Amino acid sequence: MELRMLEYFLAVAREQNITAAAESLHISQPALSTQLKAMEAEFGKQLLIRGTKGSRKVVLTEEGMILRKRAEEILSLMRRTEEEISGSNETIAGNVFIGTGETEIVRLFAKIAKKLQKKYPDIRYTISSGNAEHVLDYLDKGISDFGLLFTEIDPHKYEAIPVPIKDTWGVLMRRDSPLAAKESICPEDLWDKPLIVSHQKGDHHYLGRWLQREESELHIVATYNLVFNASLLVDEGLGYALCYDKLINTHGSNLCFRPLSPRLDAQGYIVWKKYQVFSKAANVFLQYLREILENETE
């Protein structure tokens, strides 16, 4: 299948209208319809549900939604490959792609980018946020150069550098909550409290050991992917959110953060695929990353 056909399909998915997509592609509507039918014939699956006479809206089938996701990934990789190959030998430019969760360690990436900015002003950074599954998925597909993870790393599949900066776990709560009077929070303080926890799988086991309870024994009222959203639930009085420190600015707000006792830190790792062939921009980024981490540990 030609990449051009994937671009045609994505245009229809974006516009939700074949006529509008044809106009954006500068081709005729009958020609686009023919291409779409050829794609469906090639896959042997219906990809689009055409609207009735009263409606011109096009809806993707389940197979069409799968193709849309894969087409976006394929075209993104193609553009990235073209950029890397066509780049000048003298100029180091292009994108560095990083997958990460919400963490204060992202400041480390900012430090590296700032240090590189003067010498290599044409390097850009694409940060993709998500949980560990998202970060690993993007690494495996070659969409991300580097990932920041807090889970165990398969040494046969990935290279990893431990980050000397650690995130500290604690509880985000309202200032008028009963536990706000405490300087730190013990496991037994949370056993009967409504909890808001990350829905990242690795965190459940990690926190479960600290809490000394199975997940089924706790009163979990909500899970979150983004800490900001969890902070809104806390602000409305839904419960107590277990999260990293410094992600929510509690100064002047209704919220406060209390660390866990005994202290619980999360060890982060900067990860990339073994035998990864990096672009020049990613290679320079890795070089500066190693230098900064060496200075941090001295």
The tens place of each residue's pLDDT in the chain, 298 residues long, gives 788 888 888 888 888 888 888 888 888 989 999 989 999 999 999 999 887 655 578 889 999 999 988 888 888 778 767 666 655 555 788 899 999 988 989 999 999 999 999 899 999 999 998 888 889 888 988 889 999 998 878 888 899 999 988 899 999 999 999 999 999 999 999 999 999 998 876 566 678 889 999 888 999 999 998 899 999 999 999 999 999 999 999 999 999 999 999 999 988 899 999 878 788 899 999 999 988 887 765 5
pTM above 0.85, yes or no: no
Parallel, antiparallel, or unpaired for β 167-174 and 123-129? unpaired
CA angle 75, 81, 87 (to 5 degrees): 135
Instruction: Return all residues near 90 (Cβ < 8 A) that are at least 6 apart.
Output: none
How many other C-beta atoms can be found within 10 angstroms of the C-beta atom of residue 108? 20
